[in-house]
Amino acid sequence: MRDALVGLLCGLVFGFGLLISGMMQPAKVLGFLDLFGGAWDPSLAVVMAAALVVAWPGFAIARRHGQPLIAARSVWPTASAIDRPLVIGAALFGIGWGLVGLCPGPAIENLATGSGRVLVFVAAMIAGMLLQQAWQRRTGPPARALAAVVDG
Amino acid sequence: MANFTPVSAAIGGALIGLSAVLLMLLLGRIAGISGIVGECLSAGSDRGWRLAFLIGLVAAPLLATLAGFGPASPLMPASFGVIAVSGLLVGFGTRMASGCTSGHGICGIARLSPRSIVATAVFMAAAIAVVFVTRHVVGA
């Protein structure tokens, strides 16, 4: 129950962050990705920089603190290999992101607007995730990937 | 740079960072949205906080609307076909790379993870290339 309350709180703060930053709007995200359009909007870079200014020291404190306040242990990512799935996966994601301007967070959050286009996007995104899961189960993940906690 | 909104971008970004830090300090988890959604889809345990996070994510703009500062409608002029392909690629790619803009781009870089820095560089470059092609080569 306390886990769920923390999840809810963090989801709300994350959601307000995306909303206030303007990153819920795919057109604004594309305005950042369009470096050569003559009307470049650097806002997304500021969003990431501000998030990092908070998260970098915050994570350092959390790591020094060791055990989290509510759960039994912290689950830090342990994967460190720069391998093919990382690079190919990131490239596929980037291609999809550039086509419409939605990444997973803003896509889910935009369900609140009731947009049919967002609904189609999220349904396809979930299908893509399930497809990846099935594909990975078929090809069999390498032992190293099984042992490592993934990044996010 | 007429559309540049540095102040709201900085405030919003700081809140996103705060959310990631709170989730790690309290629950010891990484605030990566693709991972949260993906793990909700698989039959494992620990679904509770993940579902609650996603509910909070959708509730935020609804609460904001009640308070009078809700989001504008998302502008997505692409066809339904392109939107579906885009969603498939985002879903498949983020799970294959084990992270997206939040898990790699924010949490991973904040951990100074070389893996996440590479992933972020790759998805940024790919997205910039696609926007260049669709807006200035094909759409020109």
Amino acid at B53: F
- The DSSP result for A11-38, as a single string, is HHHHHHHHHHHTTT-HHHHHHHH-TTSS
What is the Cα–Cα distance from B21 to B31, expressed in whole angstroms? 8
Q: Where are the domains of chain B?
A: 76-140
Work out the pLDDT band at B2, boundaries 50, 70, 90.
confident
Query: Following CA atoms B73, B74, B76, B80 in sequence, which dihedral angle do they give, to the nearest 10 degrees?
Result: -80
Q: Which of B64, B93, B110 is facing A93, going by the closest CB pair?
A: B93
Predicted TM-score (pTM) of the model is 0.95
**pLDDT tens sequence across A23-61:** 999 999 999 999 998 899 999 999 999 999 999 999 999
CA distances from B62 to A12, A24, A78, A113 (A): 10, 13, 36, 8
Contact present, B104 and B119 (Cβ < 8 Å): yes
* Interface residue B39 vs chain A (CB under 8 A): no
Q: Is the ipTM of this complex over 0.90?
A: yes
CB atoms B33 and A20 under 8 Å: no
* Interface residue A119 vs chain B (CB under 8 A): no
